[in-house]
Chains A and B, each alone.
Chain A
Amino acid sequence: MARSVTPRRKLLNTTVAWAIGLLIFFPILWTILTSFKTEGDAIAAPPIFVGFEWTLENYRTVLERSDYGRFLWNSIIIAGLSTVLGCMIAIPAAWSMAFVPSKRTKDILLWMLSTKMLPAVGVLYPIYLIFIELGLLDSRAGLVVVLMLINLPIIVWMLYTYFKEIPGEILEAARMDGATLRQELLYVLTPMAIPGIASTLLLNFILAWNEAFWTLNLTAVNAAPLTAFIASYSSPEGLFFAKLSAASTMAIAPILILGWFSQKQLVRGLTFGAVK
């Protein structure tokens, strides 16, 4: 509903919008700035905004802590594998729901969504117990499976809404020309669906990366990702603002950058196509 306005009004709107934007972004900006300070400058009173001595010391310290790399690697593996695995299971399901819909398709979609609403804390102990029984506690494999399952409904939904937009006639034409089901999926559908699949991968990678209930409760040392690494700073002895900031910046930077590319998909993915 954007309309033309007077330059003066535009200037006022711009000023207010930038002020609000910067205010909301400020905690992140402040974290990034603090990560380049010495510990002394980080707690200086009054606070120093930019006129401090910039240093990479904190990053060096955090990286030298032998464990940081492992947490990062765990995050990448867990978020990456759970997303890819989820897509591999969801693509055929979304394909069949979008192109061969039956009377029950809608019910199945809604039911899948409802599994997403199950409060994690309600099933914490059973999962915990199953993990112990299967030796999955504190293992990357276990977390990959759990994160894949909690994101699977969103993945199916997003893919479904993207596939719905592909005209069925094209697939039908391919079939008329004698394409087998496998060929149809691989050479006709997939190329057209790549943008949608890419957005789905992206958003779910972000969601898995930031997931902080199962990653905190089902890991200890070996499989703990960055969410748990950062949480370990909550103990008082870990209270070094500059190092905390450096660790935080490294944990969120990759996702902030990916997130900026996925803002459009965010609405579709998290409202299940209900807001367009």
Chain B
Amino acid sequence: MATKASRSAARIMMAPAVILLLGWMLVPLIMTLWFSFRVYLPLRGGDQGWAGFDNYTRFVTSSAFWPSVQTTLIIVLGVLAITVIFGILIALLLDQPIWGQGVVRILVIAPFFVMPTVSALVWKNMFMDPVNGLFSHLWRFFGAEPVSWLSDASMPSIIMIVSWQWLPFATLILLTAVQSLDSEQLEAAEMDGAPWIKRFWFIVLPHLSRAITIVILIQTIFLLAIFAEIFVTTGGAFGTRTLSYLIFQRVLESQNVGLGSAGGVYAIILANIIAIFLMRIVGKNLD
């Protein structure tokens, strides 16, 4: 259907979006790469020449590096485990005939629309505050000593907050996938006497595998970059400094741009490795 004229028109119409995104990607990326090879301390003498690979080696050999990688992994894996497992369970439940399904759906999805700074602050103060938080009341009610959640159990607390935010996303996508499952197959298996665990393992789970993969990949990309939740709650203290937060601190707080940029390059590489897998799946779907 495409004529020559409409082809060139199409190219022109695509141009603004392509050029803008190309600029948005390339300009900062090249600058980050450039800075990562410089000794660049804006508040202490500015750009002081080439650093070679110094920034790269210093970033990975600093005492903060490995703990931050560990923190990042624990948060990402923890949140993924919670959101995927509970997401599947809730999706299966919501797929059953229940009264007021629409309302329950809305209740479950709601946290996704709460802005990260609000959810972090509400959890931090109204639930996890060691004196007046709801958890401390609950603990006292059962005769236990209230916990200073964000300092003594900082990682579980952060994982809990972030999981609460992302559970709706996982549930919604898994629910969409569950609803496309052919019920005849399940009924046949049920009539053949397959117990529910077998039906789940051999029919439901394989059907969901694609959706689960997508949930994992997309969430990983977003979870690697969580910022507001840590910024507002612990500010990176109590062992909650993730890789992104470490880079943020190097760049903006200690104003060591060279070092921070080298960290940024690591983060970009890491995100790209995950992105490649996601692209493959999305790409296949385009054909």
Seen from chain A, the residues whose Cβ lies within 8 Å of a Cβ on chain B are 1-5, 10, 13-14, 16-18, 20-22, 24-25, 27-28, 30-31, 34, 43, 45-47, 89-90, 92-93, 95-97, 99-100, 102, 106, 108-110, 112-115, 117-130, 149, 152-153, 156, 168, 172, 181, 206, 209-210, 212-213, 216-217, 226-228, 230-231, 233-234, 239, 241, 244-245, 248, 251-252, 255-256, 258-260, 263, 266-267, 270-276
Contact = CB atoms under 8 A, between A and B. Distances in A.
A24 B106 CA distance: 10
Given A130-B27, A149-B20, A245-B126, A119 B113 contact: no
Contact of A95 (B2, B13, B104, B169): B13
Interface string B114-137: 111111111111110000101001
A12 B34 CA distance: 61
B228 to A, nearest CB: 4
Given A13-B96, A125-B251, 9 more contacts: A2-B96, A18-B100, A25-B111, A119-B244, A119-B268, A210-B115, A213-B225, A227-B116, A263-B105
Nearest to B6: A100
Contacts of A113: 279, 282
A49 to B, nearest CB: 11
A252 B114 contact: yes
A30 B208 CA distance: 34
A275 B177 contact: yes
B182 A1 contact: yes
Given A209-B115, A233-B121, A267-B172, A25 B107 contact: yes
Interface string B261-278: 100110110111011001
A16 B231 CA distance: 35
Given A1-B186, A14-B100, A149-B24, A96 B18 contact: no
Interface in B229-287: 231-233, 244, 247-248, 251-252, 257, 260-261, 264-265, 267-268, 270-272, 274-275, 278-279, 281-283, 285-287
A241 B120 CA distance: 14
A189 to B, nearest CB: 12
B176 A267 contact: yes
B242 to A, nearest CB: 10
A245 B123 CA distance: 11
Interface in B91-117: 93-101, 103-117
A275 B7 contact: no
Given A230-B117, A271-B214, A106 B17 contact: no
Interface of B is mostly: helix
Contacts of B147: none
Given A119-B225, A231-B117, A245-B126, A273 B112 contact: no
B113 to A, nearest CB: 4
A118 B278 CA distance: 13
B191 interface: no
B126 A34 contact: yes
Q: How many B residues touch the partner, as a band? A: 35 or more
A118 B96 contact: no
B144 to A, nearest CB: 15
B174 to A, nearest CB: 9
Contacts of A260: 106, 109-110
Given A30-B126, A276-B176, A234 B17 contact: no
Contacts of B97: 2-5, 10, 13
B9 interface: yes
Given A117-B272, A126-B31, A252 B118 contact: yes
Given A122-B247, A239-B125, A102 B7 contact: yes
Nearest to A146: B24
A248 B101 CA distance: 27
A129 B31 contact: yes
A93 B125 contact: no
A152 B17 CA distance: 8
B283 A27 contact: no
A16 B93 CA distance: 8
B28 interface: yes
